Every structure is written in C-alpha cells, then in structure tokens.
C-alpha cells in the first residue's frame, strides 16, 4: 500500500452561500508531485488554503497521516505560496526572507543567500521587493515557501508571470527539490502543458468538486491517440476487434471502446464491425492533450464525459 502524506475527507468550504470546495477527497502520496487542475474559481486555491492552515474548513477534515504529528506541527513542515507572494514591498528580498527565517528559528544569513541563489535571485537581494519584476516576485515567493526546509510544498500557480526560460528553470528546480530533497509538492497551474511535464498525480476540480483523481500514467493513457468506437453492442464488438489482431484496447463504458494500436486500420475495423452486423453509432480517431482532456472532462467543450 502506498504511503499517503495527506488525505482529505469530504473537505468543504462555504462562503455565505457559495460553496468553494465541496466534499473534496484527495490523496497525496509521499514524494509525489500532485497537480491540481481546474478553471478559475474552481476551488483550487480554497483547497490549498485549507490544507495549509490559512482557512478553516466549514466541514470535513484533512489528515497529514504521513507526518505522524499534530496538525499544528504539520503546518510547521509546510511551505506555501498561495495566490500572490506575501512580500513587504518596502523591504529588500533579503529582509523579507529574514523575517520568515527568524520566525522559523533560522538565524544563519548564508541560508538565505543559498535559497535566493536556488531561485535565481542571488544578484537582487539588496533590491527592494516592491521594485522586483513579476517573475522575480514569484521567485521570491517560492524562496519564502522553501524557508524551514518543508517536507510538503504547496504552490498555487507558481509559474505565473515567468518568462519561458523562467518557467523551465522553476520546473527544473521543483523537479530537483522533489527528487533530491524528497519534498512532496502540491501544485496548481493554468499551463497544463507545463504541469504535465512535472506532475506524477492529478486531480481535476470543477465547481469545487473533484471530478477525477488519477496518476500521470493513467492520464496519459486517457490522452493518447485512439480509435473511439461508440456502439450499443460492446460485448459483440470485442471478438471482432480481437479477430483483427488489435491487442491494446479498453472498454470505457457500456457504449464506448477505445483502441490504441493500429490506428491506420480504422477503415478495416469499421467494415468488419458492419459485416458482423454490429450497429456503430460513431467511429473515429481521437487525439487529445491534457488541455483538451481537461476541457472535455469539465464539460467546457462537448466531449464524451458530460
């Protein structure tokens, strides 16, 4: 059984009459990079705030099972960058870091310099944070989240405002933190392409509810090119597919079959199904990246799930 760091149980947050998070159940494995995917206002930030201790759940609970400690102690082992980085603009990057370091009992100034180096702000630590570019502020926010060597990093849209090079650097850095320091990361991003390069697990959230939770492998499976067959006679269609030598296929539901190999033989497959007098409602090649898949799943564009 895989070891979970965090498990939420029916986590719910309501603001007056708006339910921002609705009975959310997510399972974050220790050492994973967990991607939270959702539209603006879907409830990603609310979930992150609750598990970072910044907002109280209206109902439900969460448990840092992997830490084996009280919730208050668990909060000490979390680093979070949620929404805009919390930066005092009139202070330098170094001073902003020092405030947090002292709150964590870290007095070593070299520690701050090392963290600023890590996020690529080594040359700017004397500059007032208010004069940082958007990307630099984001990097400082990540550096602040790393103070105290957290075991669990919560990053809400951490690559917002970064240029392509910056995005690649942050991706590399997060990958390194995950691999070398064994930090578990919960990350949300609108740039799904980037998220797909990083995350090992995903949860898709829409209107405050988790629609789907899957591993990277499962998601890639769902996203890869395939022949999608819609028929009312799935059981009868399977021997035909087998007979034509297709090996890699799966029955999605009682009306849908996905065939992943020999995509060029779609015409033959269609003819054989017709010969076997199997009514085919539709047949065609579907290909989707993570973004398309997300849009289909959340019902933003017409798709198979809604």
Chain residues binding other proteins by CB under 8 A are: 49, 52-56, 71-72, 75-76, 78-80, 82-84, 86-91, 95, 98-100, 102-105, 144, 147-148
Smallest distance from the beta carbon of 55 to other proteins, in angstroms?
4
Smallest distance from the beta carbon of 195 to other proteins, in angstroms?
22
Cβ distance to other proteins smaller for residue 79 or 135: 79
Structure tokens at 84: 């805009």
Cβ distance to other proteins smaller for residue 49 or 226: 49
Smallest distance from the beta carbon of 148 to other proteins, in angstroms?
7
Q: How many CB atoms lie within 10 A of CB 55?
A: 18
Cβ distance to other proteins smaller for residue 87 or 278: 87
Can you tell me whether residue 269 is helix, strand or coil? helix
Cβ distance to other proteins smaller for residue 54 or 134: 54
Burial 172-199 (b: 16+ CB within 10 A, else e): ebbeebbeeeebbbbbbbeebebbbebb
DSSP 120-178: T-GGGTTSBGGGS-HHHHHHHHHHHHHTT--SEEEEESTTTT--HHHHHHHHHHHHHHH
Cβ distance to other proteins smaller for residue 152 or 249: 152
Smallest distance from the beta carbon of 61 to other proteins, in angstroms?
14
Cβ distance to other proteins smaller for residue 120 or 148: 148
Smallest distance from the beta carbon of 223 to other proteins, in angstroms?
34
Can you tell me whether residue 96 is helix, strand or coil? helix
4-15 and 226-231 as β-strands: parallel, antiparallel, unpaired? unpaired
Question: Whose structure tokens read 């070398």?
Answer: 180
Q: How many CB atoms lie within 10 A of CB 97?
A: 27
Smallest distance from the beta carbon of 213 to other proteins, in angstroms?
25
Cβ distance to other proteins smaller for residue 18 or 99: 99
- CA gap 116, 3 in Å, rounded: 32
Smallest distance from the beta carbon of 82 to other proteins, in angstroms?
6
- 78: enclosing H helix or E strand: strand 78-81
């Amino acid at each position: 059984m895989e070891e979970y760091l965090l498990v939420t149980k029916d986590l719910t947050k309501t603001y007056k009459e708006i339910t921002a998070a609705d009975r959310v159940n997510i399972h974050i494995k220790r050492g994973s990079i967990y991607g939270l995917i959702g539209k603006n206002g879907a409830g990603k930030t609310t979930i992150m705030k609750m598990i970072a201790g910044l907002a109280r759940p209206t109902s439900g609970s969460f448990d840092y099972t992997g830490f084996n400690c009280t919730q208050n102690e668990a909060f000490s082992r979390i680093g979070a960058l949620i929404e805009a980085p919390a930066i005092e603009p009139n202070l330098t990057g170094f001073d902003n870091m020092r405030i947090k370091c002292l709150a964590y009992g870290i007095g070593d100034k070299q520690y701050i310099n090392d963290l600023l180096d890590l996020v690529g702000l080594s040359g700017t630590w004397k500059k007032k944070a208010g004069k940082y570019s958007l990307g630099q502020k984001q990097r400082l926010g990540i550096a602040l989240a790393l103070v105290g060597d957290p075991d669990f990093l919560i990053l809400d849209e951490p690559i917002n405002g970064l240029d392509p090079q910056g995005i690649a650097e942050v991706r590399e850095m997060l990958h390194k933190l995950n691999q070398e320091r064994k930090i578990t990361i919960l990350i949300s991003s609108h740039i799904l392409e980037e998220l797909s390069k990083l995350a090992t697990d995903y949860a898709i959230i829409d209107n405050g509810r988790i629609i789907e939770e899957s591993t990277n492998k499962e998601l890639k499976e769902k996203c890869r090119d395939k022949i999608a067959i819609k028929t009312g006679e799935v059981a009868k269609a399977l021997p035909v597919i087998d007979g034509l030598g297709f090996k890699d296929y799966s029955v999605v539901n009682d009306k849908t079959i996905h065939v992943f190999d020999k995509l060029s033989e779609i015409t033959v497959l269609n003819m054989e199904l017709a010969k076997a007098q199997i009514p085919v409602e539709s047949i065609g090649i579907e290909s989707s990246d993570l973004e398309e898949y997300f849009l289909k799943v959340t019902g933003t564009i017409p798709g198979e799930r809604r």
